[in-house]
């Protein structure tokens, strides 16, 4: 079975290559009646797009969505929603010199080993271009979650190389090209990225994503755990090498008395669990993060082999992101939203008759 689809009751299938004529997705299982127009996709797609600052790839795509099916007179009909974005700024000649080489750290080699053939233009299917359609699908999930359940999904860049936020302000996040929560540090990030770009190197990053307002109960034990599906969804994003839920790996050094989130009638006293216990939402904020590796397309030469096994030094020219994490916040939000909507529909299907169960304690006291 192919693996270009995910989800159970809400399924998303993406298709397309970076330098093909178009990319697209089919979102199946969205309930009928959701108001949906093509221009609603623009905001999140532009947050993710290339060419928005000197710190990301200079490729300029309009990223305009065409709704091909599943919407009639501005409302979803319950049938598959097909979305299409035409590629308009491919520059495939950037790849002609390396078409028969494998960039170290890139999927070139593993795709070749798996399929025995690959589309080398812009990384083909392994390109970050594919994440465009995740974000488009995520727009539907975010809207449904917000309107139906009052759930909001937001993220921020929580590490760029060795730099971490010193302060946190939601209003700063959308006001700089990094999705950084501390406005005072933006000049430092700009200087860091300018020097990095000049050096020809790349760097890794970390993105945090949270969901507020998720009701307790979403998530299915044992193999459909909410945290398991969030981890898989985030891990499926290009370049992601690590995922944490709540305190994640820091839990290894914690005592039980530190990690457990004490419960009082007034609410949970902390949120080390990231809002999920036993794979099921507790009603607290869902907290996840993901780490993206440094971009592997570098103009600095690196040892590799060509398709004949001959040693070569590969140099990648073209328009690459020195840090893919800079544009990854909307992608993480989309993936979290899609998992949550799928789980919400599954919860409704099996447990819709259960209703509210007492006692229901609020999330962490300080929010």
- Known binding positions for FMN: 125-127, 238-239, 278, 293-297, 319
Extract the annotated binding site for NADP(+).
48, 54
Closer residue to ligand EPS, CB minimum distance, 185 or 295: 295
Q: Using CB under 6 A, which residues numbered 45 to 104 contact ligand EPS?
A: 50, 57, 59, 61, 94
* Nearer of residues 42 and 277 to ligand EPS, judged by Cβ: 42
* Nearest residue (CB) to ligand EPS, 59 versus 118: 59
Q: Which is nearer to ligand EPS, 80 or 105 (CB)?
A: 105
Burial 181-207 (b: 16+ CB within 10 A, else e): bbeebeeebbebbeebbeeeebbbbbb
Minimum distance between the CB of residue 87 and ligand EPS, rounded to whole angstroms? 8
Q: How far is CA 107 from CA 153, 289, 290, 313, in A?
A: 30, 23, 19, 17
User: Which residue number, 251 or 317, has a Cβ lying nearer to ligand EPS?
Assistant: 317
Among 275, 293, 304, residue whose Cα is nearest residue 363: 275
Residue placing its CB nearer to ligand EPS in the complex, 225 or 320: 320
d(C-alpha 146, C-alpha 144), whole Å: 5
From candidates 101, 285, 297, 304, binder to ligand EPS by CB under 6 A: 297
Annotated binding site: 48, 54, 125-127, 238-239, 278, 293-297, 319
Residue number of the CB atom closest to ligand EPS: 122
Return the residues of window 109-168 that contact ligand EPS according to CB under 6 A.
122-123, 127-129, 132
Buried b (16+ CB within 10 A) or exposed e, 220-243: beeeebbbbbbbebbeebbbbebb
Which of 318, 348, 361, 364 forms a contact with ligand EPS (CB under 6 A)? Answer: 318
Nearer to ligand EPS by C-beta: 67 or 136? 136
Contact call for residues 314 and 104 (beta carbons, < 8 A): yes
To ligand EPS, the closest distance from the beta carbon of 322 in angstroms equals 11
**Residues paired with 82 in a beta bridge:** 26, 69
**Per-position x/- string for 12-51, each x denoting binding to ligand EPS as judged by CB under 6 A, each - no binding:** ------x-------------------------------x-
Dist. CA 350–CA 155, nearest whole Å: 30
CB of 336 to ligand EPS, least distance (A): 19
Q: For residue 225, state whether it binds ligand EPS (rule: CB under 6 A).
A: no
Q: How many residues bind ligand EPS (CB under 6 A)?
A: 16
C-beta of residue 274 within 8 angstroms of C-beta of residue 288: yes
Q: Which helix (H) or strand (E) holds 160?
A: strand 152-160
Closest CB to ligand EPS among 108 and 227?
108
By CB under 6 A, which span of 143-151, 152-160, 314-322, 353-361 interacts with ligand EPS? 314-322
> Among 75, 86, 260, 319, which residue interacts with ligand EPS (rule: CB under 6 A)?
319
Q: Among candidates 256, 265, 212, 12, which has minimal Cα distance to 132?
A: 12
Among 118, 320, 346, 347, binds ligand EPS (CB under 6 A): 320
Nearest to 147 by CA among 61, 97, 76, 91: 76
For residues 102 and 112, the answer to whether their CB atoms sit within 8 Å is: yes
- From CA 208, how far away is CA 336, in angstroms rounded? 11
**Rounded to whole angstroms, what are the CA distances from 96 to 70, 99, 273?**
39, 5, 48
Kindly list the residues in this chain that would bind ligand EPS in the complex (CB under 6 A).
18, 50, 57, 59, 61, 94, 122-123, 127-129, 132, 297, 318-320
């Amino acid at each position: 079975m192919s693996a270009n689809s995910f989800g159970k009751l809400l399924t998303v299938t993406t298709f397309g290559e970076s330098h093909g004529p178009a990319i697209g997705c089919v979102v199946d299982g969205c309930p009928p009646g959701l108001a949906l127009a093509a221009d609603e996709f623009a905001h999140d797609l532009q947050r993710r797009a290339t060419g928005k600052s000197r710190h990301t790839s200079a490729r300029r795509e309009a990223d305009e969505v065409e709704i091909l099916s599943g919407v009639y007179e501005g409302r979803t009909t319950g049938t598959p929603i097909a979305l299409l974005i035409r590629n308009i700024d491919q520059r495939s000649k950037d790849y002609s010199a390396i078409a028969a080489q494998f960039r170290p750290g890139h999927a070139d080699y593993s795709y070749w080993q798996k399929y025995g053939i690959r589309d080398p233009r812009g990384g083909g299917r392994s390109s970050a271009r594919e994440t465009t359609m995740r974000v488009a699908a995520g727009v539907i999930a975010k809207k449904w979650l917000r309107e139906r359940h009052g759930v909001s999904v937001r993220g921020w860049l929580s590490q760029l190389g060795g730099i971490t936020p010193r302060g946190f302000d939601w209003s700063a996040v959308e006001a700089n090209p990094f999705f950084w929560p501390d406005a005072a540090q933006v000049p430092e990030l700009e200087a860091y990225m300018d020097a990095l770009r000049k050096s020809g190197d790349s760097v890794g990053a970390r993105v945090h994503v949270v969901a507020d307002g998720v009701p307790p109960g979403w998530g299915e034990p044992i193999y459909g755990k909410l945290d398991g599906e969030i981890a898989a969804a985030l891990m499926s994003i290009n370049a992601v090498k690590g995922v944490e839920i709540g305190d994640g790996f820091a839990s290894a050094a914690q005592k039980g008395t530190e990690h457990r989130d004490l419960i009082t009638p007034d609410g949970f006293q902390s949120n080390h669990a990231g809002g999920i216990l036993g794979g099921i939402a507790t009603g607290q904020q869902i907290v996840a993060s993901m780490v993206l590796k440094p971009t592997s397309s570098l103009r600095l030469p690196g040892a590799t082999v060509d398709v004949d096994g001959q040693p070569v030094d590969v140099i990648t020219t073209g328009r690459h992101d020195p840090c893919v994490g800079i544009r990854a916040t909307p992608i993480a939000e989309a993936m979290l939203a899609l998992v949550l909507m799928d789980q919400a529909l599954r919860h409704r299907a099996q447990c819709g008759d259960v209703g509210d169960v007492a006692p229901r304690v609020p999330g962490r006291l300080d929010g």
